[in-house]
Amino acid sequence: MSDTSNPAQDTKITLSRKESYREVYANSVQVKMSVWDFQLIFGTLQQEKPDEVAIANESAVYLSPQQAKALWNVLGQNLAQYEQTFGKLHLEPQVVTPSGPIH
């Protein structure tokens, strides 16, 4: 007998990869937002000189505000598990880039 009060328990989820699927490495993420969505821009950051940083953007992903919050929750849970297993993470000083509305 299934719990009809929670249809998500009965939902079968199938994962697949589109032909366009690809994996990229990113050590830089920029976030832009508008009233409709969040844009995550992934790239690689290189610092060859102490006073110069170069960021090469690779790809961007748009998320609805609801999906952005779900991502925030799942990342928080996974980071907590990671730190419990491997130890506390310490962040380097961050480069702050201006962000504005996305039209």
- The runs of H, that is alpha helices, within the chain are 65-86
Q: Are strands 28-33 and 52-63 parallel, antiparallel or unpaired?
A: unpaired
| pLDDT score, position 14 | 95
* Contact in structure between 82 and 89 (CB atoms under 8 Å): yes
> Strands (DSSP E) along the chain, which ranges?
28-33, 38-49, 52-63
pLDDT digit string (tens) for 34-53?
Answer: 999 999 999 999 998 888 99
Residue 31 three-state SS: strand
* Stretch among 7-11, 38-42, 65-69 having the lowest mean pLDDT: 7-11
Residue 30 three-state SS: strand
Interval 21-30 mean pLDDT: 93
Residue ranges per domain, the chain? Answer: 23-86
Residue 9 three-state SS: helix
